[in-house]
Amino acid sequence: MSMTRRDLAGLAGAAVLASATEATAATPGKGGNVTPTPAQQKLIDAAREVRQRAYAPYSHFLVGAALETEDGTVFKGCNVENLSYGATICAERNAVFQAVAAGHKKFKAIAVVGDLPAPITPCGMCRQVLGEFGGQTEVICTNLKKEVMVSTVGALLPAAFDFDPGKYK
């Protein structure tokens, strides 16, 4: 199965949750929507705000991310494109790299916002980078229509490459 950011419907293993432990709604795009908790909404708002700073002159596809560390610090990131496409960085990795540079390596949650018909999910490379720090990080996916899907890195990246496969459980 091929998977892209735009193909939420085929997402295997994703859980639609109000929090990492409680299901409260149907799948977005099929008539349902998760109501974010206040903590999730704070991250969504931060991701929406930083999305406006994205540098995307080639795709015009703006993405924002807000990453909450274990101690509650929030790092924001937006996508930054480059004419040499391989040098482009996604919003999620931008936020993770800023957090790591500031000395943080344990994350509670990340919110990602993009303009898609269904909530945006991190690309495979971002999933792998997030997975480097553990599979239990909550991933709050949303779009400009305010539809929300919540999962975990482990659910979004089943059978992840790792020398310690137990890390994702």
Q: Which residues are catalytic?
A: 92
Q: DSSP character for 73?
A: -
Tell me the C-alpha distance between 15 and 53, whole Å: 30
For residues 3 and 117, is the Cβ–Cβ distance under 8 A?
no
Tell me the C-alpha distance between 121 and 127, whole Å: 9
Tell me the C-alpha distance between 22 and 165, whole Å: 25
Unique residue bearing structure tokens 């993009």: 114
CA nearest 11: which of 114, 127, 132? 127
